[in-house]
Amino acid sequence: MKNSTKATFALLGTVLLWSYMVVISRQIVFDIDPVTVLFLRLLIASIFFLPFFIFNHTWKKPHFLKLLLISLGSTTNLTFFILGIKYTTASASQIVYAAMPILIFTYGRLILKEKQTPIKITGIIIGFLGLLLIGFLSAIEKGATITGTLYGNILISIAMLGWTFYLLTSKKISKYFNPIELGSTSILVSFIISTVIFFVNQSLTHSSLILNKGQFFTIFYIGFAGTFLTYLLYQYAVKHSSPLKVSLTSYIQPVTTAFLAILILGEKLTYYFIIGSIFVLLGVFFTSYEKINLSKI
């Protein structure tokens, strides 16, 4: 199996694991302080990443200081996501992340002077229209003028910008580090920063650290599957694919998140969700169409 094919499967796995994490994160932050959730999430992920970090002697490699700085993009994403998800909806948060392909496309066009084909541009537009259909029509049905609150969406937007920065810069440095080195470094940096934030928050709020059985398993999933596994899969895809293709998962994720919300939370399946989902999938197809054809030559 080609590395590009493995990268595609890695992206699909990432989408499924992340989508479920978004749904349960939206629930858990109402029972546990978001800063505590962030700290515990990164603590669990760091426990699994630390042996690999030590074994690979990542800190001894060239460009490690650059990797530390790049990891701050991941830290920004993790921190502002968990703070913002409490004040917006799961679907709205993923719609915000759907701006990533547009930003990466613009970056490639203006900064890197990359040439984009009409098919690729059409795919991005179709996918974005599908997300707008899902997001705004569902808001109208619920009697709301926007999805989520302005405060929550601003926090999620900051998280998205951090993740976009991390995606673009980690791709450049991936030739010096393997996926597990990239993932372990970014998570450990994020954990150190979250520890400082956690203790400052504890001194101010004195929030409880006692978890019941259900909360423990939720936090464990967020830390292990939603962070450790997804970072490995995501970095593998980044190493063996293009930033634009990897960012297109942000088009698919709102659809899978909504499906999981329907199955888990019993939300209603609507006709515009089905139509919007078709638009999203068509957008992804058109955007990757040229790459698929070239790979067959």
| Cβ count within 10 A of residue 62 | 9
Per-residue pLDDT reduced to its tens digit, 41-85: 999 999 999 999 999 898 998 899 999 999 999 999 999 999 998
pTM: 0.80
Distance in angstroms (rounded) separating the CA atoms of residues 15 and 9: 10
Give me the pLDDT at residue 99, please: 74
Tokens linked to 273: 């969700």
Per-residue pLDDT reduced to its tens digit, 138-159: 555 554 434 456 788 889 889 9
> Quick one: what percent of the chain has pLDDT higher than 70?
82
Give the chain's largest Cα–Cα span: 62
Tell me the mean pLDDT in the region 246-265: 76
Tokens linked to 123: 């795919």
What band does 5 get if pLDDT is binned at 50, 70 and 90?
confident
Q: Where are the alpha helices (DSSP H) in the chain?
A: 3-28, 34-55, 64-84, 90-97, 100-110, 118-141, 150-173, 179-205, 213-223, 230-239, 243-247, 249-265, 271-296
What band does 243 get if pLDDT is binned at 50, 70 and 90?
low
Distance in angstroms (rounded) separating the CA atoms of residues 268 and 124: 27
